[in-house]
Amino acid sequence: MRTALVLVAALSATPACAAERPNVLFIAIDDLNDWVGPLGGHPQAKTPNLDKLAARGTTFTNAHCQAPLCNPSRTSVLTGLRPSTTGVYALAPWFRTSEALKDHATLFQWFKKNGYATTSVGKIFHGGYPPAKDRAAEVDAFGPPHPMPRPKAKFVQTPDPTPLMDWGVFPEKDEGCFDYDVATWAVKQLAEPRKEPWFFAVGFQHPHVPCYAPQKWFDLYPEEKLVMPAVKADDRADVPRFADYLHWKLPEPRLKWLEESKQWKPLVRAYLASVSFVDAQVGRVLDALAASGQDKNTIVVLWSDHGWHLGEKGITGKNTLWERSTRVPLIFAGPGVAAGAKCGRPAELLDLYPTLAELAGLPANAAVEGQSLVPQLKDAKAARERPAVTTHNPGNHSARTEQWRYIRYADGSEELYDVVADPNEWSNLAAKPEHADLKKQLAKWMPAKSAAPLPGSAGRILTFDNGVPVWEGKPIGKDDPFPEK
């Protein structure tokens, strides 16, 4: 009750004249790749609520994250700045530790500055951020924490013992899932009468590991009928060695281990079950918005912080500059957005900040690096010159256009894929001389310089120091074998 009162108080602090502005419902989903109905990344994916949202809005079919890792990606979304600008590349630190970012207005703060009440529940910032002492300065009101329940023991004994690396049927009912609680809290808040415009962020953690969901969601995907991801046995034969360094030693198991342990199908099935479960929670929130009568004046945006591999390129998880890691769902609906549209122009999560500001009629923040998507929200065929650029650790970048993906690593090695002719990115064309000019043109869009990692950077941090790749503070030898577990 106290939380609800805090929220109502926060939503009462704006001028009455601002009530004509549209609200913003900002829905984030963790580790969701293109295995959703509107993107067609998996033919069996069942996401009826995302399908409904896409039908009343615009889906970007070529949207990409700025970083294939939670903290740098979410930092980029909320600051409107690239990882190569923020210096946030790893799971730590909190971006406010940067002198350059300590007073930078986040998306929440920009809306608050312009008369909006701001609220956040679930995972929007990276886990544990902002620190308790900084919370009031970041967002008007936070929902209560919703701890993740765990089974008595892991279902799968993966090479890495971390409890997060697990999948299986758990708990018995939806009501036992923490993301169900996140949706329940959001539903209650949307039912509260409000006079002022609001920016409400709702963050779901599924399908992030552990991939747990009740049995009914697994039943949607019978194992004997499961369609598995397309993989190629020698897929990594034509990629530079530096590509391996981006995901050198991680908790996520490799495909080799999954196959040997007969866990590939169970993981794919659990991921799909988790996707359908979280789709249902999104549906509950959207239904509550409609029931409140505010849907006609609310901009809804749904996005994922990055994708996830499920065997492609021989790995699971993220931490790569390939399609499976960078491509994300991005759907807008509401006032100012064309209904039932699909846009194939390159889009970046970086663009959320300026796009939402423009849709809401707010002044633009000149400090951000994104580019508004409003032209494409009005006309999906509107031109857009620049590609989507993804960065993973200093000096490693990918530029994605409608036809091409060009990757350049910190040591200068390259990959180039014609993603129209080769959607699985199986044939690296970077060495072909006829593509030299194309690579030069795409390279122009990549950051000219990468900020040094912030002090305290830790958790999947890779640097290239004096010609030596350094993973988590330890040099990688030129002959060290690629970890296969």
Residues designated catalytic:
70, 126
Count of Cβ atoms closer than 10 Å to residue 29 Cβ: 28
Q: Which of 312, 306, 310, 305 is nearest to 325 (CA)?
A: 306
Q: Which of 166, 252, 248, 247 is nearest to 212 (CA)?
A: 166
> For residue 336, what are its two tokens?
């100012």
Tokens at residue 123, please? 């995972």
Residues 6 or more apart in contact with residue 388 via CB below 8 angstroms: 62, 63, 64, 326, 346, 347, 348, 399, 400
Helix axes 2-10, 178-190, angle to 10 degrees: 50
C-alpha 376/C-alpha 387 separation (Å) is: 14
137 Cβ contact list (under 8 Å, min separation 6): 130
Name the strand (E) or helix (H) holding 255: helix 255-260
The beta strands (E) that lie in 81-239 are given as 117-122, 141-142, 167-169, 198-204, 211-213
Give, in degrees to the nearest 5, the angle at Cα 247 between 246 and 251. 155
Dihedral over Cα of 150, 187, 295, 137: its sign:
negative
Residue 29 CA, chain-centre distance (Å), reads 7
